[in-house]
Structure 1
Amino acid sequence: MVTAPIHKGIICQTGTHFSGHTEFFAERTGAVLPVMVLATEALKVGLVTTHLPLKDVAKTLSKKLLRDILTIIDRDMRRYFSRGKAPKIGVCGLNPHAGEGGHLGDEEIQLINPVLKALREQGMQVSDALPADTLFVPHHASQYDIIVAMYHDQGLPVIKSQGFGACVNMTFGLPIIRTSVDHGTALDLAGTDRADPSSLCCAVEMAKQMAGL
């Protein structure tokens, strides 16, 4: 399933409640926890939390949420990209410098690293919580098959700055393949013949790759 961009606000103005394609497909397929992943040829980034205020991120994180997200990412990376092999997953800390040993926040010590340790003991190839500003440096990022960010604007500015227009939005955790573009509707370009279809073309190619076509 490849989806084009939609304008949620316009749809909701019709009186139809619609929070987005991801939620729609999750409801229709019975998926409990869809996971947002963006990808270019060089980098894949998954998100633990998505569209919520920054002030709510820390209180939304939990050991169960992190464990479930990473389990889905590991499973679908094996299914679609690593041919059954355990993918190497790099995980960003929540706080600057991954908490600096607890001096800049203790979520890494109390929540994130215990989950990562338990998953490694189960065979998952997952890092400890690492400083995001270091992990996204190309030399370090290239050591991983996918990087997991704790919140939206920790991960997406990096991947979009590297490949906007050639970036694909994928939804892991669904029983179907779903890809989409990495941008919105750009209504101001409608009818001008200036819209760039590159991201949609990339989304189609990514769906074909995931399907083994």
Structure 2
Amino acid sequence: MASAPQSFSRPVEQNQLMVSTLQQAYQELGGEEANMKIWLQKLLSQNPFVFLKSPEVLKQNLVFLRDSGFSTAELLHLLSKLKGFVTELNLDSMRRSLNFSQETIGCSEAELRRIILKCPALLYYPDSTLAERFKGLLSTGISMSQIIATPTILELTTQIVNYRIQRLTARGYDVRTGSLDVLNATKKDFEMSFGKLQLRRERPLFNPVAPLKVED
């Protein structure tokens, strides 16, 4: 809360109203009370500025997503995944991002919803950011089908993607034909995967069927 001192200057009643609105939304979507407490703690620690938002923003965002075809269970999933970003969503920005993503991917609304459930950040990023990241990925030879299979790759900046691809290519890994899972990871997980690739290159697997080379 120290990172959002403005919340202390607001009437306690307003902060309580926001908390009760979040709790009500979570429970109305079928969330369990025990899980709600954990979710709420993470949300407030991730983004204490949530208290500076209007409860109406949250309600409007959920109505928009419901009108976009998301079921109650899917809305709960999005609410849980977005955590502190749920009140940061902007209706106009979401509309533009959804339209841009659907046109760029060339998919149906139902397919787009499935992709968003895998990568809720698509709702949060403005269309200009998405345009840059789609362009950056496609320019490396990564296919749209690969992006659809691993949409969370769009959460990485173009600079990070290019840097990782360069390192993987140096180890003989072709992201155009392989899985994007090794590319799409936290910095720690990427370094671990990269280390395993390097180890396999230095120590090729023994093939018991292959004939042994014996020097004369």
TM-score by length of 1: 0.23
The structure whose Rg is larger is 2
- Greater helix fraction, Structure 1 or Structure 2: 2
Higher strand share: 1
- Structure number with greater CO (CA < 8 Å, separation at least 6) is 1
